[in-house]
Amino acid sequence: MEKNNLKAWLYLLPAILFLGVFMVYPLIDVFVYSFEEGYNSASQTFFGIGTYNYSYVLRDPYFLQALKNTFILVIITVPLSTGIALLISLGLSSIQKVREWYQTIFFLPYVTNTLAVGLVFMILFKKTPYSDGLMNLLLGLFGVSPIDFMDGPYWAKMFVLCFYTVWVVMPFKILILTSALASVNEDYYKAAKVDGTSAFRTFGRITLPMISPMLFYLIITGFIGAFKAYSDAVALFGTNLNAAEMNTIVGYIYDMLYGNSGGYPSYASAAAIILFVIVLTITCINLLLSKKYVHY
Amino acid sequence: MKILLENVTKIFPGRGKGAKEVRAVDKFNFEIPDGKLIGLLGPSGCGKSTTLNLLSGLLQPTEGKIFFGEDEVTNLPAEHRGVGLVFQNYALYPHLTVLQNITFPLENLKGDAKLTKEERVKRATEAAKLVQIENLMDRKPGELSGGQQQRVAIARALVKMPKVLLLDEPLSNLDARLRLQTREEIRRIQKETGITTIFVTHDQEEAMSISDMIVVMKDGLVHQIGKPQEVYDNPTNLFVAKFLGTPPINVFAGRIQNGALYVGEDKLFDVSADAKPGDVYVGIRPEGFVLQADGPLHCSLSRVEVMGRDMSVVAGHPAFLDASIRAIIASENLAEISGDAVNFDVKPGKVLVFDKETEERMYI
């Protein structure tokens, strides 16, 4: 028994070593940094230990802005993208002929580079002295006066960011949901049909519970992904996100480390820990809710 | 309620280029009497499940008409036919409890037929009592055995008081012992409710044992319809004869010559003078053999399998068309068998003769 244990540890050693060095140690380190006040990574010195980093970050208007942006992004894009993806998947699974063709089209954004797509979106929405942009052209048809989406009011910029995020995360969700829908045994639908179940009830009482594990998976990963949003905002508004009022929590952390205001690993660590606590809390709430609504 | 099928035909288009269309059911004519238990019997792919789906309304026939009582239902969609359907895999909703599964069809009722929650539970409990699962109402299907799931599926089909109950291979997912028990159960439930019931099976024993009538199908064609014993005793062709009975019928190459029936060189018995001479298939049911020292059928003896009540004599014959002959003989004759040869006489009623070309039955 003893010998076997030793062998087991030996086999586990490579994984433990790598995970320990590259995952566990940095995690702990971040936690430690977040309590070291005025830590300087060059000289490896700090003034003292305490919660000053947290109080600084939580009072920093840029962080509060980032926090607000991130929450708006999460609350709008996760339900919206999951809902639309579900509708599109339902549509896809009910057509026969050009289904694969549509599937390919819907999946294209997933294999396209974020920054390139961001550029395209910028061109769609940007208002310049020479042109109002394609979106404003469209809106003009309905008599809406041109809006400066990229440099204009806060809600317009937030709209572009949300629109873009939904568009980017949708393909993966559609892919997962179409396969989830396809895996529901046809006999359940036949049984429901013979029993005279309406299409609406069939969806609510059969389809939805049957795909609920997959739906739940998408919601959890959607939440986590949206909380960690950063590259989307950069793709649209450039690297100076604070000036654009479009920073996210991850963006704030990045700025604290490397941005113009950079060189503050302690603040970055504190912000990272705050983000971690938020994500953990939301995920725990999700898991608790899933016990009630998800059928395995 | 009686059901009438008139020239019902279902053609599926062929898949892929140049593929031939498939006639799953071809000109099915049958009047199913009210309150009977009908077994649709045939090998895989014979069109029996398609027939069931045509009756349920999940499929529409290509040609022909279907009547429930006096009403034509040919193009009536499944949800308006009022049939109860039990699927081969039961199709119980895994996320609902037994009670919720059974009340599910009742929740769909609209207008005047709408029921209150108490009424629904009451009806579900009655249906559950009928199939004896009333103590399992709060379980999920995943927590039930195969036999229990089967009963829930039947209760769900019965709860809306259908005019017709359709069962698709109801016993195929059960083990041998449960199968015997459940088929009795299906018979009992059918008798108690008096609902016209049609069930599909590929197991002839199952169909024979509980059906009022059986329909033998092959390749979309109905080969024979009748009471189980009648079909067994008087099959219209070689396929039906081979398909019914365990052990299966023993088929020999034979001929009619000089007013007598021959199997190989052995003359079995004289036949009527107007029997057409020529090559035939001779089928002898396992119970049609009689041990007799000077019997006309000379066989080589392979072995004897004793099964208690009776025994199975496994033998060979040069004119036999399969691997080995199986004769079922009462056990008390065990002492009479020894050596490597055995002679049989045959019971003429258990000998069936079929035309060599058409494989149709010849009455001699």
Q: Give tens-digit pLDDT for A200-233.
A: 999 999 999 999 999 999 999 999 999 999 988 8
Ordered mean pLDDT values, 10 residues apiece, chain B (364 residues): 88 79 87 91 88 90 90 87 89 92 89 84 89 89 89 90 89 82 87 90 87 91 92 92 90 88 86 83 91 87 85 89 87 75 88 90 83
- B5 to chain A, closest Cα gap in Å: 20
The partner residues of B215 in beta bridges, in order of sequence, read B40, B225
B300 SS3 class: strand
**Interface contact A295-B56, CB threshold 8 A:** no
Q: Backbone phi, then psi, for B166, in 5-degree steps?
A: -115, 135
Could A210 and B160 be called an inter-chain contact, meaning their C-beta atoms sit closer than 8 Å? no
The DSSP call for residue A43 is T
Across B162-187, b (16+ Cβ under 10 Å) vs e yields: bbbbbbbbbbeebeeebbeebbebbb
Contact residues, chain B, for A197 at CB < 8 Å = 79, 104, 108
Interface touch B79/A206, C-beta < 8 Å = no
pLDDT band for A2, please (50, 70, 90 cuts).
low
Name residue B289's beta-bridge partners.
B346
Cis peptide before A265 (omega within 30 of 0): no
Q: Positive or negative CA dihedral for A148, A151, A152, A155? A: positive
List pLDDT tens digits, range B40-90. 998 888 888 899 999 999 988 999 999 998 888 888 888 888 899 999 889
Q: What distance in Å separates the CA atoms of residue B38 and residue B29, rounded to the nearest whole number?
A: 14
Give me chain A's average pLDDT, please. Answer: 87
CB contact under 8 A, B84 and A194: yes
The rounded distance, in Å, linking the Cα atoms of A42 and A49 is 18
Cβ pair A197:B104 closer than 8 A: yes
Residues of chain A contacting B78 with CB distance shorter than 8 Å: 190, 193-194
Domain ranges of chain A: 60-110+158-293
Task: Report chain A residues whose CB lies below 8 A from the CB of B107.
Answer: 201
CA distance B74 to chain A (A): 15
> Is B104 near chain A, with CB under 8 Å?
yes
Nearest by CB: A191 against B77, B91, B94: B91
Element (H, E) at B28: strand B22-32
Closest CA to A125 of A252, A225, A246: A246
From the CA of A171, how many Å to the nearest CA of chain B? Answer: 28
* The residue type at A12: L
CB-CB neighbors (< 8 A) of B58 in chain A: 190, 193-194
Q: What is the interface size between A and B, counted as CB pairs within 8 Å?
A: 57
ipTM of the complex: 0.81
Q: What is the pLDDT of residues A267-288, one digit of tens each?
A: 999 999 999 999 999 999 988 9
β-sheet with B310-316: strand ranges across? B289-291, B341-346, B297-306, B310-316, B325-330
Question: Among A185, A190, A196, whose Cβ lies nearest the Cβ of B108?
Answer: A196
The closest of B114, B36, B156, B249 to A191, measured between CA atoms, is: B156
Q: B95 contacts in A (CB within 8 Å)?
A: 209-210, 212, 295
Structure-derived torsion over alpha carbons of residues B31, B34, B36, B39, reported in degrees to the nearest 10: 30
pLDDT at A4 > cutoff 80: no
Best residue in B108, B160, B166 for a mutation probing chain A (most A CBs within 10 Å): B108
* Residue in B57, B93, B156 nearest the CB of A206: B93
Do B331 and B322 contact (CB within 8 A), yes or no?
A: no
Give mean pLDDT, residues A120-140: 82
pLDDT of A42 higher than 80? no
- Please answer yes or no on whether A188 and B91 come within 8 Å at the CB atom: yes
* Nearest alpha-carbon partner for A266 in A7, A108, A64, A32: A32
- For B20, residues 6+ apart whose C-beta sits below 8 A from its C-beta are B14
* CATH architecture of the domain formed by A60-110+158-293: Orthogonal Bundle (1.10)
Contact A196/B79, CB-based, under 8 Å? yes
